[in-house]
A and B are shown apart, each in its own frame.
Chain A
């Protein structure tokens, strides 16, 4: 029989998770977890619903140099948040592709990260924006970059008895720009065949996050400046950035198609990100 806990304190939530072992799962929107249960992909002994916990970090806190996101911040809230929209356009573009409005109003950003799908739409922009997570257990807190956090398909640093309580997004340096692109089999509500987020830094360096082209979301970068007006230098940068991609063939697309379109989308995302840089702030 599956247990359902609805603790009101962080301590109780952590205790319930610790007591439940590997088959105890934190629950926020349930948009991945409940689907997995229905199809018997997931076996859960205990749900620990975080929506009643009063002493978790706030859903969203904006400071001068960062946005701090708590476990119950939904995709729907994210896409409407003025500071997130201003600072992290790639993340907003990505979140707007997650499911439908109804799904986004339930799904939490941290939950989406913890689900660790290789095709998670928000993972590429979070990676290029340098997100860090705080993992909490009864033993205390530890932090990791999101790049360290993703271990493999559905596997993260967050182990049994642990909870991701915070996700920090540093404010992008002035003169940088970001954009997100993805390819799907249809325009509405679909999983990515390929997704990519790009950030162009103030120095003209490129950071790219990629989804659905490896066992986990991938992040690579090339130092700046890259001359985006020169096809040869852009091609060389793309070669370098995309070398880590190892897509497979599945029902959503062939390896060959994914590799080809990854390059197309990365180029488009990079150019769109560059267009978004504030020219007054550019170092190069």
Chain B
């Protein structure tokens, strides 16, 4: 019998994929997940599982609207609830209200007289028990006046619209008196001149819904005051060092007085990157001098993270041979009530709004538009899925007009390795053989082979810039018995980062895999890491770990020379071994000899730094690009609009698979997540800005029953990435263009083009109904109605 992971690898091997760079080593092997057993069995302790005897429990007080002035808060009844220790409002916090944020310092610790989104806390109850805290939170009377909040792009951009942000927070900024927080503009070539040689122009508008991350672990925060006047804070954050800095700054403490423990996030997807409620918990703990604990509900998680919705108006030109001539884009990103990292999502996403194509003339104008909704933040793909949906749909629309198929139009426009796809001042060129991924996806879906009626295929590609600056530092200790400990600040939220460090150290230091342990999630003991984001960790932290291992080997060499009297120039260190005049010695043995009877250990350190470029709109060139090609085969139930995905292929350009099992896991996970926003996920708001489908009952993410009948992932390996052994980051690729591939497949199968995500059964049904009605109208005017569902001309909705 084979296990599912083994089958996944066998499937890949059968595709003729992975080459094994280290046939004797651990890198390149489908090593099982470090800590995976505990995660599977439930033994792993997430923040909610940690016990803090004697701690106080926190419950948040909110108002039932998305935008309001707070006129008064009466906590008399709440304070009377037995066990209640404190009820804290804005009045109890420093004045002016401390604010924090990644791109703008705009987010208050507690709502300061104004509620800007539904779920924003106006008060916090601290009590001896969770029951008491929750009962008391419901007993707090908040007197508020609802304001005409803005919940849609049209609301927010209308003349005289309510201003989400107080203009005083952006003094002197040209856009301060509007709901546009920031803009991005990219342009190259001459769009108007290109139009002259254009055969077909496609002009359409696309929308992408607000969706929430839905990590299975909602998360939470525990703040513990220390005897020294500082704080220990437990939070499953992706960026513990950013949280440490934010708390130190808000509280006026030195960094060494704020220690962040980051238990593994149970899923992050970008939603757990930036501080949200941690500063509030910190103030509560310092105020009560007690440990304060808040574990979020799923509903509260919905109200603290989401992806920016987007509306994209695109105008795209094609020459008669299918070559793109120009692409003109207006992209409005629907961000939330506070900036978080949303302006950067807008800027980075729109940077690739012309995709990986050779387009002579491009104009991209993008805006981050504030609304009274959950602050939008980083989410796997970081703005790329939104722009890709519009662009890939445009390509298919142009191809249909020109009589080309979806594969051919992409073949004719996709850039070659080294060729620029972003031109102008901040150009970017393909850093991989992207055609190979496209061709592989086409081959695996059986592109061009006949399909039964009612089925269709679509193919799409997507790119996403990786990190544009970064710093990862690592420490590796080789102990006297040959075992090793790696200190690496990457948060392991399910992507399996620790497994890679284990594999690298095993190969580089010659230690058995099971004798390499990894320490992370503690700013007090683990060196600095900027972020766990943008699929950067393999490249950045992986390189730091690799360098630390080399540092260890050099130290072993030096001490070995000193201990044995062999001249250092006669010694050489290589991965896993020390080469001596008498032959190769395993590194652990060389270390043992070098250390001698006093024992001790070797400590190596490694750093990977990528400095940004001040003038670059992204802050620097991307360290690598994620590139993906996705192809989908779908069957459409014309009577109900239901989709059955019969085959879904995803191919990523990965550089080198350090762990093929983890590459499969990331690609499959991303592909399924991509089906979420493509098929079913959307946050629906009511007229008061409240989420109507708040919670798991009516906000739907794919289950395993929703996974395509066949889900196939493959990787293109050319060992051309900047990470260890030629690797690239890979965790986002497979969701970048899911929507485009599915939309094209539905158009092929059912003859209808839908430009608004998600493609729910009802939306597909409505499009088919409209198309059939239109066909009947045409038929009644021109003669008997024809009804050949699969062969009918595609109706552009």
Residues of B within 8 A of A193 (CB): 761-762
Residues of A within 8 A of B138 (CB): 40
Interface residue A20 (Cβ < 8 Å from any Cβ of B): no
Interface residue A254 (Cβ < 8 Å from any Cβ of B): yes
In the bound complex, do residue B760 and residue A185 qualify as a contact, i.e. CB atoms below 8 Å apart?
A: yes
A residues 239-265 near B (Cβ < 8 Å) are: 251-254, 257, 260-261, 264-265
Given contacts A183-B642, A186-B680, contact A260 B703 (CB under 8 A): no
In the bound complex, do residue A188 and residue B703 qualify as a contact, i.e. CB atoms below 8 Å apart?
A: yes
In the bound complex, do residue B705 and residue A261 qualify as a contact, i.e. CB atoms below 8 Å apart?
A: no
B789 nearest CB across to chain A (Å):
15
B residues 437-454 near A (Cβ < 8 Å) are: none
Interface residue A190 (Cβ < 8 Å from any Cβ of B): yes
Question: Nearest CB to that of B642 among chain A residues?
Answer: A183
Interface residue A187 (Cβ < 8 Å from any Cβ of B): yes
In the bound complex, do residue A185 and residue B703 qualify as a contact, i.e. CB atoms below 8 Å apart?
A: no
Interface residue A191 (Cβ < 8 Å from any Cβ of B): yes
In the bound complex, do residue B700 and residue A186 qualify as a contact, i.e. CB atoms below 8 Å apart?
A: yes
Question: Nearest CB to that of B697 among chain A residues?
Answer: A191
In the bound complex, do residue A253 and residue B762 qualify as a contact, i.e. CB atoms below 8 Å apart?
A: yes
Residues of B within 8 A of A187 (CB): 703, 705-706
Q: Mark A27-55, 1 if CB is under 8 A from B, else 0.
A: 00000000000011000000000000000
In the bound complex, do residue B702 and residue A186 qualify as a contact, i.e. CB atoms below 8 Å apart?
A: yes
Main secondary structure of the interface of B (DSSP, over half): loop
Residues of A within 8 A of B680 (CB): 185-186
Residues of A within 8 A of B703 (CB): 186-189
Give the total number of A-B pairs whose CB atoms are below 8 A apart: 49
Q: Mark B766-785, 1 if CB is under 8 A from A, else 0.
A: 10010000000000000000
B623 nearest CB across to chain A (Å):
37
Q: Mark B746-773, 1 if CB is under 8 A from A, else 0.
A: 0000000000000011100110010000
Residues of A within 8 A of B640 (CB): 183, 261, 264-265
In the bound complex, do residue A257 and residue B765 qualify as a contact, i.e. CB atoms below 8 Å apart?
A: yes
Residues of B within 8 A of A40 (CB): 138
In the bound complex, do residue B639 and residue A264 qualify as a contact, i.e. CB atoms below 8 Å apart?
A: yes
In the complex the two chains form, what is the Cα distance from A190 to B706 in whole Å? 11
Residues of B within 8 A of A190 (CB): 700
B87 nearest CB across to chain A (Å):
20
Interface residue B129 (Cβ < 8 Å from any Cβ of A): no
In the bound complex, do residue B762 and residue A254 qualify as a contact, i.e. CB atoms below 8 Å apart?
A: yes
Q: Which of A186, A193, A264 counts the most chain B CB atoms within 10 A?
A: A186
Residues of A within 8 A of B679 (CB): 186
Residues of A within 8 A of B695 (CB): 39
In the complex the two chains form, what is the Cα distance from A100 to B201 in whole Å? 49
In the bound complex, do residue B639 and residue A185 qualify as a contact, i.e. CB atoms below 8 Å apart?
A: no
B310 nearest CB across to chain A (Å):
21
Q: Mark B661-702, 1 if CB is under 8 A from A, else 0.
A: 000000000000000000110001000000011010110101
In the bound complex, do residue B765 and residue A251 qualify as a contact, i.e. CB atoms below 8 Å apart?
A: no
B456 nearest CB across to chain A (Å):
19
Residues of B within 8 A of A39 (CB): 695
In the complex the two chains form, what is the Cα distance from A251 to B695 in whole Å? 12
In the bound complex, do residue A186 and residue B765 qualify as a contact, i.e. CB atoms below 8 Å apart?
A: no
In the bound complex, do residue A261 and residue B706 qualify as a contact, i.e. CB atoms below 8 Å apart?
A: no
B88 nearest CB across to chain A (Å):
23
In the complex the two chains form, what is the Cα distance from A257 to B766 in whole Å? 8
Q: Mark A90-109, 1 if CB is under 8 A from B, else 0.
A: 00000000000000000000
In the complex the two chains form, what is the Cα distance from A112 to B766 in whole Å? 33
Question: Nearest CB to that of B698 among chain A residues?
Answer: A251
In the complex the two chains form, what is the Cα distance from A190 to B704 in whole Å? 13
Q: Which of B640, B692, B695, B706 counts the most chain A CB atoms within 10 A?
A: B640
Residues of B within 8 A of A252 (CB): 698
B411 nearest CB across to chain A (Å):
34
Residues of A within 8 A of B702 (CB): 186, 188
In the bound complex, do residue A188 and residue B760 qualify as a contact, i.e. CB atoms below 8 Å apart?
A: no
B212 nearest CB across to chain A (Å):
15
Q: Mark A216-245, 1 if CB is under 8 A from B, else 0.
A: 000000000000000000000000000000
In the bound complex, do residue A185 and residue B765 qualify as a contact, i.e. CB atoms below 8 Å apart?
A: no
Question: Nearest CB to that of A39 among chain B residues?
Answer: B695
A60 nearest CB across to chain B (Å):
28
Question: Nearest CB to that of B638 among chain A residues?
Answer: A264
Question: Nearest CB to that of A256 among chain B residues?
Answer: B766
A residues 130-147 near B (Cβ < 8 Å) are: none
Residues of A within 8 A of B765 (CB): 257, 260-261
Q: Mark A185-209, 1 if CB is under 8 A from B, else 0.
A: 1111111010000000000000000
Question: Nearest CB to that of B695 among chain A residues?
Answer: A39
In the complex the two chains form, what is the Cα distance from A183 to B765 in whole Å? 12
Question: Nearest CB to that of A267 among chain B residues?
Answer: B639
Q: Which of A40, A254, A260 counts the most chain B CB atoms within 10 A?
A: A260
B residues 200-248 near A (Cβ < 8 Å) are: none
Which of B642, B684, B704 meets A251, CB within 8 Å?
A: B684
A18 nearest CB across to chain B (Å):
28
In the bound complex, do residue B706 and residue A251 qualify as a contact, i.e. CB atoms below 8 Å apart?
A: no
Which of A188, A254, A260 meets B706, CB within 8 Å?
A: A188
Question: Nearest CB to that of B699 among chain A residues?
Answer: A251
A168 nearest CB across to chain B (Å):
32
Given contacts A183-B640, A253-B762, contact A188 B704 (CB under 8 A): yes
B residues 97-153 near A (Cβ < 8 Å) are: 138
Residues of B within 8 A of A188 (CB): 702-706
B residues 684-741 near A (Cβ < 8 Å) are: 684, 692-693, 695, 697-698, 700, 702-706
Question: Nearest CB to that of B696 among chain A residues?
Answer: A189
In the complex the two chains form, what is the Cα distance from A1 to B684 in whole Å? 36
A247 nearest CB across to chain B (Å):
12
B472 nearest CB across to chain A (Å):
38
New A-B contacts (5) at CB < 8 Å, excluding given A185-B680, A186-B702:
A183-B642, A185-B700, A186-B680, A186-B703, A251-B698
Q: List 22 A-B contacts (CB under 8 A).
A: A39-B695, A183-B642, A185-B760, A185-B761, A186-B680, A186-B702, A187-B703, A187-B705, A188-B706, A189-B703, A189-B705, A191-B697, A193-B762, A251-B693, A251-B698, A252-B698, A253-B762, A254-B762, A257-B762, A260-B765, A260-B769, A261-B640
Closest 9 A-B residue pairs measured CB to CB?
A188-B703, A188-B705, A187-B705, A264-B639, A257-B762, A187-B706, A186-B700, A186-B706, A251-B698
